Structure 1
Amino acid sequence: MPLIDKFMILAIAGQALLTVAILVLMGRERVPRVMSGEIPEADIAVDRSAYPLRARLLSNSFDNQFQLPVLFYVIAILAISTGGVVWLEVIAAWLFVALRYVHTVIHVTSNRVHKRFAVYTAGLAVLVILWLMVLFRLLSA
């Protein structure tokens, strides 16, 4: 396997690692509260409002990892599976992942919506560019 493909796979792994890390942090916030009876199961069976703010922020951030990142996984796997990944695609993939980490940090700390939205939009722009690069490469071959 070419080294460039390995770098793209590592970008995919970096995004997956972020998702798992948020899941672990969310579990550490939620499970003890339910297990101790602090939050009755009936209060969380339908919605998350019974959880404290940090647990809700983590939960929202976790849900967010199944929005744009799904499109990232699709294009990154398509790029690898069709062969011919180029460095600009790898750089765009890593930039997208880096922006997802920044978005997550903002989301689960200050949660400043304007900053979070700006980073989200930048990530979306990078993702669209990645899609266009890969599609152009594949369709012009």
Structure 2
Amino acid sequence: METNAILGPVATLALWSMIIWVWMYATRIPAMQRAKIDAAKMVGGTGKSLDEVLPPEVQWKAHNYNHLMEQPTIFYAVALALAVGGMGGGLNTQLAWAYVGLRIVHSLIQVTVNRVLWRFAVFALASLALLALCVHAFMGFVLH
């Protein structure tokens, strides 16, 4: 069994995060220009402060990018641990692909139509896949 197969989903989610990063700036910078915001004169603040002045559909990309820096950190840690521990194949790889696929769907919902109920349903399913990975890692490393 290929124990490093779980690294495919890891690389895919990392690349997807960078795609969202590019999409965020490709929409945010023109929106800032239209809003006559001079970034060179900005001091302090956060991207959240732009929620008050930029259209919501522009900020949705930034919000999603932030979401990709939150829970997926657990995914990266557990997936890498499973790979290093020789448990990164089989069902764990399938669960990892399910997690990544669902997170991509979550992103596409959030950055386009941003229907909260749809996002929540997909997020909950992804979270269950991640929970299963965490339980498998715990069982393999702690209970073994």
Q: So what's the TM-score if we normalise by structure 1?
A: 0.88
**Runs of 4+ that moved beyond 6 A:** none
Q: Deviations over 1:92-129 (max 9, x none)?
A: 00100000001001101111100101111111111011
> What residue number does 2:56 align with?
53
Please give the secondary structure, in 2, of the residue aligned with 1:104: helix
Contact 2:28 2:59 in 1 (8 A): no
Report sequence identity in percent: 25
Question: Shift of the alpha carbon at 1:55?
Answer: 1.9
> What residue number does 1:92 align with?
95
- The change in CA–CA distance for 1:139 and 1:86 in structure 2 (over 3 A counts) is farther
Question: Shift of the alpha carbon at 1:13?
Answer: 0.6
Please tell me the root mean square deviation across aligned C-alpha atoms, in Å: 2.1
Q: Distance in 1 between matches of 2:138 and 2:127?
A: 16
| Structure 1 residues 1-141: aligned runs within 5 Å | 3-5=2-4, 7-34=5-32, 38-41=36-39, 46=45, 47-49=49-51, 50-141=53-144
Highest RCO, 1 vs 2 (Cα 8 Å, sep ≥ 6) = 2
- The change in CA–CA distance for 1:57 and 1:102 in structure 2 (over 3 A counts) is same
Please give the secondary structure, in 1, of the residue aligned with 2:54: coil
Q: Distance in 2 between matches of 1:121 and 1:75?
A: 18
Q: So what's the TM-score if we normalise by structure 2?
A: 0.86
Q: Distance in 1 between matches of 2:26 and 2:91?
A: 38
Q: Distance in 1 between matches of 2:35 and 2:87?
A: 54
Please give the secondary structure, in 1, of the residue aligned with 2:58: helix
Q: Distance in 1 between matches of 2:15 and 2:104?
A: 10
Aligned positions, number: 139
Structure 2 stretches lacking a partner, 5+ long? none
Structure 1 stretches lacking a partner, 5+ long? none
Contact 1:39 1:51 in 2 (8 A): no
